[in-house]
Amino acid sequence: MNGNAFFYPEGGIAADSSHLPFYVDNVNFRFELPPGTYEYVVIAHLFGNNPLADWQAVGQYDTDSDSLPTPVALGEEQLLENILINVDFDNLPIQPF
């Protein structure tokens, strides 16, 4: 994959004391990003000890029935709401990395 990665919670892999909770039905979040088109929006899980390599996508933003991710276009001062990403550890999305 080329380009940049943005992490939530802020601080990303260095913020190992804060993470998204397990075993909950949903999590509300707010994430500020610069304007642009984000081709691949996922929830990623660090499954090993190497924060530079041990990632797997466990859910991706997708609005249609195919397995390809749906890009998110974000304009200047734009607020997007209700971005839904489902996580199913028994049915992971295709792994790009």
Q: Label each residue of the chain as H, E or C.
A: CCCCCCCCCCCHHHCCCCCCCCCCCCCCCCCCCCCEEECCCEEEEECCCCCCCCEEEEEECCCCCCCCCCCEEECCCCCCCCCCCCCCCCCCCCCCC
Q: What ranges do the domains of the chain cover?
A: 1-90
48 versus 9: the higher-pLDDT residue is 48
Alpha-carbon span 97 to 20, nearest angstrom? 21
Most confident of 17-21, 25-29, 54-58: 54-58
pLDDT band at 11, cuts 50/70/90?
low
Indicate yes or no: pTM above 0.95: no
Q: What is the mean pLDDT of the chain?
A: 82
